[in-house]
A and B are shown apart, each in its own frame.
Chain A
Amino acid sequence: KQEVTQIPAALSVPEGENLVLNCSFTDSAIYNLQWFRQDPGKGLTSLLLIQSSQREQTSGRLNASLDKSSGRSTLYIAASQPGDSATYLCAVRLNNNDMRFGAGTRLTVKP
């Protein structure tokens, strides 16, 4: 059974710091891995999608990597800003189209 784990559960950093969020999954048979952010009381916003054949994706200050064989992904946020404060979720799409989400990392960036 696919399990997705995110570490740390919560993270607080000063503005301007670079940071890394971690996601691990137990079964490497995935179609893709997607990183989302969720703001309180709101839906999910897609940040980056990495297909199983890819190793990384970049968008602005965000970079996501995927090591399928080891079951790991990282989300790197450069020069963090208070507006980055949110819960970050990673999700893997299984080969039967089920999705499995991690519990999220709650990020707080202090001004």
Chain B
Amino acid sequence: GAGVSQSPSNKVTEKGKDVELRCDPISGHTALYWYRQSLGQGLEFLIYFQGNSAPDKSGLPSDRFSAERTGGSVSTLTIQRTQQEDSAVYLCASSLVGGGSVNNEQFFGPGTRLTVL
């Protein structure tokens, strides 16, 4: 695709429900990133995928959060038993490659605004 896309753009859910957020990276980009931006706060790095692998999951805020990537393309971020503090904009980005390559510029999607009531 022309850019990174995310769905849904907005999600309102009730506390305790599970939610699934989707990210479609730019075609051919091997690296994919998830971030969270809470109201009035900076961006918080969550997880990085190189291909289908996430070498480091320590950025995920709790064990209610999980992410997977299949086929080296689409990624889903799942939040189980949502809490009100999970309310934030969840941003996804992709880059051609990861690491120290000159082709590691990140391009961001529009985000998913999650509201937990």
Contact = CB atoms under 8 A, between A and B. Distances in A.
Interface stretch (A13-21, A64-72, A75-83, A90-98): A90-98
Interface of A: 31-32, 34, 36, 42-46, 49, 51-52, 89, 91, 93, 95-104
A1 to B, nearest CB: 12
**Interface residues of A: mostly helix, strand, loop or mixed?**
strand
Chain B interface mostly: loop
B42 A103 contact: yes
B53 to A, nearest CB: 11
Given A98-B48, A99-B35, A104 B42 contact: yes
Contact of A43 (B55, B105, B111): B111
Contact-residue bracket for chain B: 20 to 34
B45 A99 contact: yes
Interface of B: 4, 31, 33, 35, 41-45, 48, 50, 55-56, 59, 91, 93, 98-100, 102, 104-111
Given A43-B91, A43-B109, A44-B91, A99 B33 contact: yes
Contacts of A51: 100, 102
A78 to B, nearest CB: 22
B43 A97 contact: no
Contact of B107 (A46, A91, A96): A46
A97 B99 contact: yes
7 tightest A-B CB contacts, nearest first? A101-B43, A44-B108, A103-B42, A43-B110, A43-B108, A49-B105, A31-B100
Contacts of A103: 41-42
Contacts of A98: 45, 48, 56, 59
A32 to B, nearest CB: 7
B104 A31 contact: yes
B48 A97 contact: yes
A97 B98 contact: yes
Contacts of A45: 108
Contacts of A49: 104-105
A98 to B, nearest CB: 5
Given A31-B100, A46-B107, A93-B104, A102 B42 contact: yes
